[in-house]
């Protein structure tokens, strides 16, 4: 199929941004300004870029944002003390801990320290538990929630469908499976999670009506792994060597896009697919946190 089978993540993210901006305006008309704080430890270049993009989009939608930058040598206790202070600050509605964190700091302890009501990344054990239980009062992790919105707004039928999620990570793979297997509208799918120990991954993929690739393996999904007409969502971001590129490398997804696109019914480009949706869902979550805090 030609370019007509592309899922335009940027356009769908803009739809969500417009909805979020309306909600922000409604809050501001009541004297409430949604605010989020990004916490970054160290000078990881990718983290600086991601936080910058989030800040820029927040400003466009009228959401206040602040970034707390801590040195690499920050102790876990110091980071937890900052989180405790932000938890107690009523002007802050969302707290985001940018990963990766330095190796001497436990990500799980840090995520669990953010109060669930301000955990707009959806990583606190309470929000993870609510997701598994199908309790919609929690916050869902932004990337799988964004993938779900892409499917919904692209009119992809999930009920009774076979879904293969490639990757079992806590940020995308597991929550993605949990969202799509719920007894709920826009879910009701039969979900398989494939990972590095799965036998015959290609065989699983060939049965799938929907493939969500989140393994972190460059161009892992090949054309012979995709059933004609299947929906292919590429979450991966991988840097590979490319002597012809200006800086000697380029970014690719987990899907061999050029070869898979002609076979797929619908497919996300990379970039321009899932990435913009992650930020859109984050800002929607922050706005919802402000709405819930002021009821």
Residue 8 lies in a domain: no
Residues 181/132, Cβ–Cβ less than 8 Å: no
Per-residue model confidence (pLDDT) at position 258:
96
Judge whether residue 2 has pLDDT over 50. no
Q: Say which CATH number the domain at 223 has.
A: 3.40.50.720
Residue 4 lies in a domain: no
Question: Same structural domain for residues 198 and 271?
Answer: yes
Convert the pLDDT of each residue in 31-49 to its tens digit: 999 999 999 999 988 889 9
Residues 171/143, Cβ–Cβ less than 8 Å: yes
Mean pLDDT, residues 155-160 taken together: 98
Catalytic residue among 36, 98, 182, 261: 98
Among 2-6, 191-195, 283-287, where is mean pLDDT lowest? Answer: 2-6
Question: Same structural domain for residues 153 and 96?
Answer: no
Residue 252 lies in a domain: yes
Question: Same structural domain for residues 70 and 188?
Answer: no
Q: What is the mean pLDDT of the chain?
A: 96
Find the domain containing 84 and state its range: 31-115
Catalytic residue among 35, 54, 118, 174: 54
Residue 289 lies in a domain: no
CA distance linking residue 178 with residue 273, whole number of Å: 21
Question: Same structural domain for residues 228 and 183?
Answer: yes
Respond yes or no: is residue 44 known to be catalytic: no
CA distance linking residue 275 with residue 179, whole number of Å: 18
Question: Same structural domain for residues 194 and 246?
Answer: yes
Catalytic residue among 35, 36, 119, 121: 121
Mean pLDDT, residues 183-208 taken together: 98
Question: Same structural domain for residues 78 and 158?
Answer: no
Mean pLDDT, residues 65-92 taken together: 98
Question: Same structural domain for residues 248 and 182?
Answer: yes
CA distances from 216 to 64, 71, 173, 195, 254 (A): 32, 28, 11, 11, 6
Q: Quick one: which of 105, 3, 36 has its CA closest to 288?
A: 36
Percent with pLDDT over 70 in the chain: 99
Question: Same structural domain for residues 86 and 201?
Answer: no
Q: Which two tokens stand for residue 233?
A: 């969502």
Mean pLDDT, residues 149-157 taken together: 98
Q: Quick one: which of 147, 164, 155 has its CA closest to 225?
A: 164
- Total count of domains within the chain: 2
Convert the pLDDT of each residue in 98-143 to its tens digit: 999 999 999 999 999 999 999 999 999 999 999 999 999 999 999 9
Per-residue model confidence (pLDDT) at position 178:
98
Per-residue model confidence (pLDDT) at position 3:
67
Q: Say which CATH number the domain at 56 has.
A: 3.40.50.10860
Residue 20 lies in a domain: no
Residue 190 lies in a domain: yes
Judge whether residue 177 has pLDDT over 70. yes
CA distance linking residue 190 with residue 183, whole number of Å: 11
Residue 249 lies in a domain: yes
Mean pLDDT, residues 185-213 taken together: 98
Respond yes or no: is residue 254 known to be catalytic: no
Convert the pLDDT of each residue in 236-285 to its tens digit: 999 899 999 888 998 899 999 999 999 999 999 999 999 999 999 999 99
Respond yes or no: is residue 28 known to be catalytic: no
Question: Same structural domain for residues 253 and 168?
Answer: yes
Mean pLDDT, residues 43-67 taken together: 94
Judge whether residue 295 has pLDDT over 90. no
Token pair 């969502």 is at which residue?
A: 233
CA distance linking residue 47 with residue 142, whole number of Å: 16
């Amino acid at each position: 199929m030609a370019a007509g089978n592309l899922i335009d993540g940027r356009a769908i993210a803009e739809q969500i941004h417009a909805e979020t901006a309306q909600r922000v305006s409604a809050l501001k008309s009541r004297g409430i300004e949604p605010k989020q704080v990004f916490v970054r430890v160290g000078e990881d270049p990718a983290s600086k870029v991601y936080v910058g993009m989030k800040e820029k989009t927040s400003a466009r939608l009228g959401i206040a944002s602040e970034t707390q930058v801590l040195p690499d040598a920050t102790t876990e206790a110091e980071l937890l003390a900052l989180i405790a202070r932000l938890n107690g600050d009523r002007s802050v509605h969302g707290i985001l801990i940018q990963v990766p964190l330095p190796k001497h700091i436990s990500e799980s302890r840090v995520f669990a320290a953010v109060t669930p009501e301000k955990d707009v990344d959806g990583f606190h054990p309470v929000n993870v538990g609510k997701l598994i239980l199908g309790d919609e009062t929690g916050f869902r992790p932004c990337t799988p929630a964004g993938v779900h919105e892409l499917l919904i707004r692209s009119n992809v039928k999930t009920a009774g469908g076979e879904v293969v999620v490639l990757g079992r990570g806590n940020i995308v793979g597991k929550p993605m499976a949990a969202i799509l297997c719920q007894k709920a509208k826009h879910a009701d799918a039969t979900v398989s999670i494939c990972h590095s120990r799965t036998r015959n991954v290609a065989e699983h993929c060939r049965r799938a009506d929907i493939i969500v690739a989140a393994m972190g393996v460059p161009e892992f999904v090949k054309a012979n792994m995709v059933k004609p007409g299947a929906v292919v969502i590429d979450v991966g971001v991988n840097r590979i060597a490319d002597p012809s590129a200006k800086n000697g490398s380029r970014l690719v997804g987990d899907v061999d896009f050029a070869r898979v696109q002609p076979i797929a019914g619908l497919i996300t480009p990379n970039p321009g697919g899932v990435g913009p949706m992650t930020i859109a869902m984050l800002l929607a979550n922050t706005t919802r946190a402000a709405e819930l805090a002021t009821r």
